[in-house]
Amino acid sequence: MVQAGSHAAAAEIVCCEVTTRHSSGAARVGAAATEPTAACSPARAAASSSADPMSPAAVRFISDRAVAAGAAPFTAPARLTSTPPPPVSGAELAAGLQAAFPILGAASLATGAGAVKVLVGGRVVHRAGWVAGVSTGLRQREVQHVPSAFVAERHRPLVALARKSVTVRFPPAELRAALSDPSPEWFADMLRPCVREAVVCGEVMRRFRSRHGQAALERWFPEQFGWTVEVVSEKEAGVSGCFRFVTHSAWQANGNLESYMTNLFADRDPERYAKTVKALTQWAHVCELLSAAGITHGDMKPGNLLVDEDGNIKLTDLDGAALLPAHIVMDAQEDAEMATAAGSGGAAAAVASAAMRGLETAAVSESPYTMTTAFAPPEMWVGWARSRMSYPDSLEQLLARAESRSWAGALQLLQQLDGCETRLEQLQLLSDLGGRDWMCAASHTYLLGAAVCDWSCEQLGQLACVVGGGGRALQSDVGFLSELHDVAEGLMALRPCQRPSMQQLRTRLARLADDWC
C-alpha cells in the first residue's frame, strides 16, 4: 500500500490514520497502522490520546513514520497548524462596547475602571436565567445590594450600592471575529442584550434632563457610578468565554417600594397611612414627568422604585423603557405653551391639557417589554390575542389560561372579545386597540393600578387571618387598604384614553389622605 519516496503515500497514510481515529471501534488498516516500530510507540500513544485527530502531534507522527519508510517529509497544511486567536480581554470588550454604544461614555462614569471598590460583600436580591452549556446568548441577570463601598472622588466616599450584572457567554472565536469586523453591527447585535439596561438608562436620563433639568434628574433617579466588564473564569461559570457586564448605582436606605410599604404595616408604623399615600403620590408625579418627556417605562412596579431615608422614591430598572420621537414631544409641548400664552382662562387650560393628554396616549414604536405579566395592561396583549384568534375554539382556552395565571390585562381584553357577537367584531375591537402589542405613557396608569391592587389584596389576605382578634387598629388597616384598592382599581380601564390622568389620581390620593391621615 505504501510506495517509498512518494508524497501520495504520505497523504494516503494521513487519510488512513484519520479514518481509524474517527471510527474508534474499526480495525486499523495499512502497514503504517498495524506495524509501529518501538521508536514510534510513544508518539502513537500521545497522538491516540489527543481529542483532535488532525492535531499537529498526530500529523508529525504520521509524517515522521513516512520518512522512516523512505517518503519525502510531509508538511501539514496551514489550517492544521494555525493557532487559535487569543481570547478577548475585558479591556478589549469594554473598548468595543464604548465604540458601539457611545451613550455608555467611559468605562466608568466615576473616575475610570476600578473606581468602585466593594468593602462589604453583597447580598443577591434578584436573579434570573443562568449560564451553562455552549450556546451564544445564555445569560444570567443578577442584582446585589452591597452595604458599603468606596467610590473615588465623590462627595460621599462610602455608599451602599445596587450592583447589577449580566453574565453572558460567547464562543471565543465568534466574539473575536465580531470585534475585528470592520462593520460594528455584528458586534453591537451580539452585545446588545448585555448592555440594554445601561444604554436605555443613559437615553432616558438624557431625555429627562433635557426636559426637566439636572436638579429633577438627581431628585428622581439614583446616582450612577458607572460600569465595567469582568472576565468570568471557567471555574466559576463552568464554561469558557464568559463575561460579566456590571453597573453600579446608589442603593436607597428603605429598599424598594414594595418592601417599604409592607414593612410599614408589618411594623405597625404610626404614620403608615400618610407614608403610603406620600409614596404613591410621588409615583404618580414621576409618571407625569416621564410622560411630559415622552418616556414610557414598560416595567413600572413597586419593585422597580427605590425609597430613600426620607421616604422619597427614585426610579430604577429602566431596561423596559422606550422613548417617543423627540419631534412629537416638542410639538405637544409647543401646543401646550401656545395655548397657555393665548390666555389664562379655562379654555386655554383645557387646550394645554388636551395637548399633553395626547402625548400620554401616543404609542411608542418599540415593542413593549415587561417582566411582570400580571401587571401588563390590555394594550400589551393585543398582538398576543390576535395571533391566537386564528385557532378554532381558542378563546375559552385563552380565558382559562389568563385567569389561572392572574393576567389581569389579558383577562380584561379577552372578556371584551368574548362579548363580541361575530369574529368580525372581535377583529375590529383588536384593530381599534392598536392591532399589535404596544404601550404608551397611559400604560403607567394601568401598571400602577394593577400593582397597587395586587399589593393591597396581599395585605388584606394577611390581615384576614388576624383581624378577628386584632382590635380596632387592624380593622382600621382593613378599611384603609380597601379604599386604596378601590382607588387603584379605578385606574385599570380597558382603553388608555379612558384612564384617569395622573393629576386626577393625585387628587383621589389627597382625599384618601384627608380621610385617614
161-201 pLDDT tens trace:
888 888 888 888 889 999 999 888 999 988 887 888 889 99
63-118 pLDDT tens trace:
344 344 454 544 545 454 567 778 888 889 988 998 899 888 754 433 334 456 66
Q: What is the mean pLDDT of residues 347-370?
A: 77
Together in a domain, 175 and 316: no
Give dist(CA 501, CA 446) in Å, integer: 11
In degrees and rounded to multiples of 5, residue 55 shows phi and psi of -70, 155
Q: Which of 133, 131, 153, 128 has the alpha carbon at shortest distance from 143?
A: 128
Confidence (pLDDT) at 148? 74
Together in a domain, 431 and 447: no
Together in a domain, 402 and 271: no
Residue 331: inside a domain: no
Together in a domain, 396 and 426: yes
Residue 343: inside a domain: no
214-246 pLDDT tens trace:
999 999 999 888 888 888 888 877 777 888 888
Residue 443, domain CATH = 1.10.510.10
Looking at per-residue confidence, does 156 or 372 come out higher?
Answer: 372
Together in a domain, 62 and 98: no
Give percent helix, percent strand, percent coil of the chain, each to the nearest 5: 55, 15, 30
For residue 505, name the pLDDT band (cuts at 50, 70, 90): very high
Q: Is-contact 377 450, C-beta < 8 A?
A: yes
Together in a domain, 494 and 430: no
Residue 209: inside a domain: yes
Q: What is the mean pLDDT of residues 22-28?
A: 34
Structural domain ending residue among the three candidates 81, 109, 128 = 81
Residue 394: give the domain boundaries: 378-435
Confidence (pLDDT) at 32? 31
453: pLDDT strictly greater than 90: yes
Structural domain ending residue among the three candidates 62, 81, 100 = 81
Number of structural domains in the chain: 4
Structural domain ending residue among the three candidates 230, 250, 270 = 250
Residue 345: inside a domain: no
Give dist(CA 17, CA 29) in Å, integer: 8
For residue 153, the SS3 value is coil
Q: What is the mean pLDDT of the chain?
A: 77
Q: What is the mean pLDDT of residues 425-430?
A: 91
Q: What is the CA radius of gyration of the chain?
A: 32
The β-bridge partners of 245 are: 166, 229
Together in a domain, 419 and 445: no
38-61 pLDDT tens trace:
333 333 333 333 344 333 333 333
Looking at per-residue confidence, does 76 or 123 come out higher?
Answer: 123
Together in a domain, 38 and 62: yes
Mark 209-232 as b/e (b = at least 16 C-beta within 10 Å).
Answer: bebbeeeebeebbbbbbbbbbebb
489: pLDDT strictly greater than 60: yes
What percent of the chain stands above pLDDT 90?
39
Together in a domain, 145 and 282: no
Give dist(CA 161, CA 156) in Å, integer: 12
Residue 452: inside a domain: yes
399-421 pLDDT tens trace:
999 999 999 999 999 999 999 99
Q: What is the mean pLDDT of residues 425-439?
A: 91
Together in a domain, 207 and 98: yes
Q: Which three cell numbers stand for residue 252?
A: 436607597
289: pLDDT strictly greater than 70: yes
Residue 341: inside a domain: no
Residue 355: inside a domain: no
Residue 335: inside a domain: no
Residue type, position 1, single letter: M
Looking at per-residue confidence, does 10 or 351 come out higher?
Answer: 351
Together in a domain, 273 and 307: yes
- Cα distances (angstroms) measured from residue 496 to each of 52, 319, 501: 61, 22, 10
Together in a domain, 126 and 39: no
